[in-house]
Amino acid sequence: MRVLLTGSAGFVGSHLTERLLEDGHSVIGVDNYLSGQQRNTELFLGHPAFRFVQADVSLGLPNISESLDWVLHFASPASPPHYQQHQVETLMVGAQGTQNALELARSHGAAFMLASTSEVYGDPHVHPQPESYWGHVNPNGLRSCYDEAKRYAEAITFAYHRTHGLDTRIIRIFNTYGPRMRPDDGRVVTNLVHQALKGQPLTIYGDGSQTRSFQYVSDLVEGVVRLMTAKAGDDLHGPVNLGNPDEYSILEFATVIRELLGEHLKVEFRALPQDDPMQRRPDISRAKSLLGWEPRVPLRTGLARMISDLQPAARFAAQGQNHSVSAGAD
Ligand code: NAD
Ligand code: UDP
């Protein structure tokens, strides 16, 4: 298949590119580096089935002369500090960027997938969150640029399906982590791992009782590929939660980081950001029955892989161990 992927230079985009190329597909990556990294593009530049176009998808997608089988729309800042720093751009890539990507799919007779988010559930009053839950979202708070952009993106994706018969899919991704996250993205996994590697206190916002459910990136990519290749005829158009249902309070998460990187690490409490969701855990019944999918990588295993990929020497220095290891030893 030939796949156009927006957001290819991002954390998730780079892992998806890698998997699609490994599976023998061609990938046209599009990104403007708003929150992505050039090195994520450079990883694939030598691959004969990969090509990259630098473009802002909110302004327009490049002309593609080749046929396309899929348009995967993953472009959007995803970490709260990034999207709050780029509020208008975040709204635009969810709105105009999504429509541009839908139009590209339509003009090429390609199928379309939207990377939506658990943030459409806001600060949820239903727990765990099934796809049928409509959510509890502040429409003009600090997180609204992201939450409402994705809710609009889902709505216009459905509108193209209903109006034009476009073959569309929507995934709602829950907190995902792994190698190639930007060290300064400000998400809790990145912050705590990097703080621990430097021996700094672990920053906990609020009292740390709020919960998240952390998914390793290879599990997410497997879910995406299964949804792309699922048999037509099933209910493929409705949203599908992709996340790991193992739920941790942020304090418990910090305990896991200390187990892996040093019990001596201190914890430092900071103010809880506005509208920070108090609990989040996916109900993955739909993904299980539709795709036969469920996450495989437990939190400690995924974190060990991420840490090993980052700085194996620093990890063992932090643990006070006298080992000699090479990158990717896990
Ligand atoms: P990321 O910031 O690492 O990647 C997003 C990429 O989109 C970046 O490379 C950025 O430069 C690019 N981009 C942003 N605006 C653009 C524009 N206008 N034109 C072209 N490129 C643009 O984030 P990520 O974690 O890899 O997230 C990827 C997708 O998955 C996003 O749509 C995000 O909303 C969704 N998602 C991710 C998570 C997660 O936990 N990682 C959770 C829920 C949803
Ligand atoms: N958080 C924290 N310390 C940090 C960064 C984040 O305690 O250094 C908290 C944050 O307030 C939230 C949770 O961790 O309750 C997850 O935050 P993240 O930014 O990773 O994702 P999101 O809030 O979008 O789920």
User: 176: pLDDT confidence band, cut at 50, 70 and 90?
Assistant: very high
Q: Is the pLDDT of residue 325 over 60?
A: no
Closest C-alpha to ligand 1, atom 35: 115
Residues with CB under 6 A from ligand 1: 6-7, 9-13, 31-36, 56-58, 74-78, 82, 93, 97, 115, 117, 173, 175-176
> Where are the chain's structural domains?
2-176+216-243+281-296+317-326
Q: Is the pLDDT of residue 225 over 50?
A: yes
User: Spelled out in words, what is the top-level CATH class assigned to the domain 2-176+216-243+281-296+317-326?
Assistant: alpha beta
pLDDT score of 296:
98
pLDDT tens readout for residues 6-20: 999 999 999 999 999
pLDDT score of 146:
98
Write down the pTM of the prediction. Answer: 0.95
User: 310: pLDDT confidence band, cut at 50, 70 and 90?
Assistant: confident
Q: Is the pLDDT of residue 274 over 70?
A: yes
pLDDT score of 231:
86
Q: Is the pLDDT of residue 275 over 50?
A: yes
Residues with CB under 6 A from ligand 2: 79-80, 175, 187-188, 191, 203-205, 210, 212, 250, 273, 276
CB 200 within 8 A of CB 258: no
Over residues 290-309, mean pLDDT: 96
pLDDT tens readout for residues 142-157: 999 999 999 999 999 9
Ligand sitting nearest the alpha carbon of 214 = 1
pLDDT tens readout for residues 207-216: 999 999 999 9
Closest C-alpha to ligand 1, atom 14: 76
Q: Is the pLDDT of residue 174 over 50?
A: yes
Higher-confidence residue: 325 or 297?
A: 297
User: 312: pLDDT confidence band, cut at 50, 70 and 90?
Assistant: low
**Phi, psi dihedral angles at 314 (to 5 degrees):** -65, -35
Q: What is the 3-state secondary structure (H, E, C) of 20-33?
A: HHHCCCEEEEEECC
d(CA 286, CA 230): 13
Ligand sitting nearest the alpha carbon of 257 = 2
Residues comprising the chain, all counted = 330
**Residues catalogued as catalytic:** 146
HSE of 135, CA atoms in CB hemisphere, 13 A: 18
Neighbours of 85 (CB within 10 A): 14
Over residues 276-281, mean pLDDT: 98
Over residues 34-40, mean pLDDT: 97
d(CA 266, CA 201): 5
Distance 259 CA to ligand 1 centre (A): 30
Sign of CA dihedral 23, 24, 27, 33: positive
pLDDT tens readout for residues 74-115: 999 999 999 999 999 999 999 999 999 999 999 999 999 999
Distance 53 CA to ligand 1 centre (A): 16
Q: What is the mean pLDDT of the chain?
A: 94
Distance 278 CA to ligand 2 centre (A): 10
Q: Is the pLDDT of residue 258 over 60?
A: yes
Closest C-alpha to ligand 1, atom 21: 31
Distance 330 CA to ligand 1 centre (A): 27
Distance 7 CA to ligand 1 centre (A): 6
Q: Ligand 1, closest atom to CA 58? A: 18
Closest C-alpha to ligand 2, atom 1: 188
